[in-house]
Amino acid sequence: MLTSYYQKDSPSGEAVKRGKSEPVVAMFCRGIMGHKYPLFISEQSDFSDFSKYLPIYKKIFIICDQVIVQQDDSFIRKIKGRKFIMAVEANERNKSFSNLEYLCQQIISKKPARDDLMLLVGGGVILNLGGLCASLIMRGLKFIYVPTTLTGQIDVCMGSKQAVNFYGAKNMIGLYNDPLYCYVNSRFLSTLSDFEFNSQLVEGLKLCLCLDKGLFLSLLGDISYGADRDLIIKRYLRKLIELKLRIVDVDLKEENIGLSMLYGHSIGHAIEVLSDGLLNHGVCVGLGMLAASQMAYLCGLSGISLVNLHRQLLINLGLPTKIPASIKKDQILAKLKYNKHNYGTSRFILLSDIGLIAKQGKNYYQIIPKEIIDRALTELY
């Protein structure tokens, strides 16, 4: 469902002018155009710092998660000036070509100018869908990311990837383009349920498992001891962002070590598409990582202890360790053919240990026989 409405807060139609004060923390992400764009990381509960460095724009087109409008629209109300707001029910079904067309129609009907702004407020679905929309209209409108989910803050807002799902496959139509900047505020995370927060933490754990053993064990310890969400955010939000930034800085297009960002995603994306929105992204990636650990064990690349660690991690997070019986193994195997990273083969990122990717020669991936994939999936039923 998509709803839209026009809102004009001030007669002049001007946004609040840029202030002099700096955000709490500024980090920088490598962009596709060769420059680096800033990530402003804030803990201010009233969002007052955002308006201080928002430039003046004649019109601001806001694509936002419907939950933000329904539960807490205080951030939206902070933005002064002429606003056209489009609220989107943020699920994978709505990350579609038809909804991309609808959003483009809505914005174009308001006669945008090249110097207008698009503000994308939400999680991965909103950032991907809105980013592609902004990149296509008039060959590119400026846009700003405001990620409101944990996945959005520690993963999606870095990497410049904009896409929609198509032909039953994830992120099949898209491009690379950079936002002006990202505004990351942990207050948004209060809108997430505990299950949503834990499942979205999987994206951060994924990179830790691949590349940072110390950070993974520290985070695992806190999870195992039942650390609450506020403690996890305080201790790890910035560290997980920094880890993703390090990877994007050296391999933005995921050609070597950047493939670590895809750990668990080949199987995970297949399960996610086949669940038709019933399983969220983090749950599916978690299952994909467990399947990958099984493949590594069956190939003799790692021991059974790594499989047990993956399974216990999901249990500690309260996430499933079994694929629903309604999703058949043959369906998953068939979906792998549409994975854009496989290039006609069955490529998987596997681990030999925590923090150590199992390379095949110079490659950061393994080509896995179908029978091994089949056996690994069988263990998840």
Please give the average pLDDT of every successive group of 10 residues along the chain, which has 381 residues.
Answer: 41 34 74 89 88 83 92 85 91 94 96 94 96 96 96 95 91 95 93 95 97 97 92 96 95 92 95 92 98 98 98 97 96 83 74 96 92 96 97
Tokens of 312: 């216990």
Query: Any idea of the CA torsion for 315, 317, 322, 327, to the nearest 10 degrees?
Result: 170
For residue 305, the model assigns a pLDDT of 97
Identify the helix (H) or strand (E) that includes residue 10: none
For residue 340, the model assigns a pLDDT of 58
**β-sheet bridge partners, residue 219:** none
Dist CA 124 CA 131 (whole Å):
10
Helix %, strand %, coil % of the chain (to 5): 45, 20, 35
Dist CA 239 CA 233 (whole Å):
10
For residue 339, the model assigns a pLDDT of 67
Among candidate residues 177, 165, 24, 54, the one with its CA nearest the CA of residue 117: 54
For residue 49, the model assigns a pLDDT of 87
For residue 43, the model assigns a pLDDT of 87
Among candidate residues 131, 95, 174, the one with its CA nearest the CA of residue 340: 174
For residue 110, give the DSSP letter.
T
- Contact criterion met (CB below 8 Å) for 257 and 251: yes
Q: What is the pTM of this model?
A: 0.90
For residue 1, the model assigns a pLDDT of 45
For residue 235, the model assigns a pLDDT of 95
Specify the 3-state DSSP secondary structure of 211: helix
